[in-house]
Amino acid sequence: MSNQGKWVLDPMHSEVQFKVKHLVISTVTGTFKIFEGSLETTSEDFSGANIEFSLDVNSIDTNQGDRDNHLKSADFFNAEQYPAIKFKSTSFTKDGDDYKLDGHLTIKDVTKPVSLKAEFGGIATDFYGNVKAGFEVTGKINRKEFGLTWDGITEAGSIVVGEDIKLAINVQFAKQA
């Protein structure tokens, strides 16, 4: 079967995680629970694929309700005004067994180029005969470049939230008939 054509993200077998330093000494891990994406390719090895991805900001979850509400507020993501974080690839190039994923990331009203690493997990067929392709996408962005500039400072002068956000996105795409 050909790998060419359209692949759609399977949210049941995918996860979007981010990590950010808290008080410089520990790391907070969060996830987005609702997202969608697609991959369209004209090649067998996925190089040159067009990839689009969208996250529902209101689905942010850091296992702490007050913090989640703060992240959704105008201090950070302003979910009411900007309900989605969007990504659109500009290139998807082979790098050994894996790929380099470049594209435009839009958070709030700021769009900037980002470069991510996509580790190819392979292709498999599930119990129902669906053909799946797996990727682990990792990278790092600076939140301040995307207008997430809120800074809390503790009484001792420590910064509450680090600037670098580490991304770890595990995705399964299902081949569309």
Residue 89's pLDDT is 98
Q: How far apart are CA 32 and CA 29, in angstroms?
A: 11
Give me the helices (H) in the chain, please: 65-72
Residue 44's pLDDT is 85
Query: Tokens 């962005």 correspond to what residue?
Result: 141
Run means of pLDDT, 10 residues per run, the chain, 177 residues: 89 91 76 95 92 96 90 92 97 94 96 97 92 96 86 63 88 94
Predicted structure pTM score: 0.89
Model pLDDT, residue 1: 65
The residue to which tokens 């067994």 are assigned: 97
How many domains, the chain?
1
Contact 130, 175 (CB under 8 A): yes
Residue 153 belongs to domain spanning: 5-175
Helix (H, G, I), strand (E, B) or coil at 157: coil
Query: Residue 54's closest CA among 104, 7, 125?
Result: 104
Supply the pLDDT for residue 94.
94
Q: Sort residue 44 into left (φ over 0), alpha (ψ -120 to 50) or beta.
A: alpha
How far apart are alpha carbons 148 and 129 in whole angstroms? 43
CATH at 36: 2.40.128.110
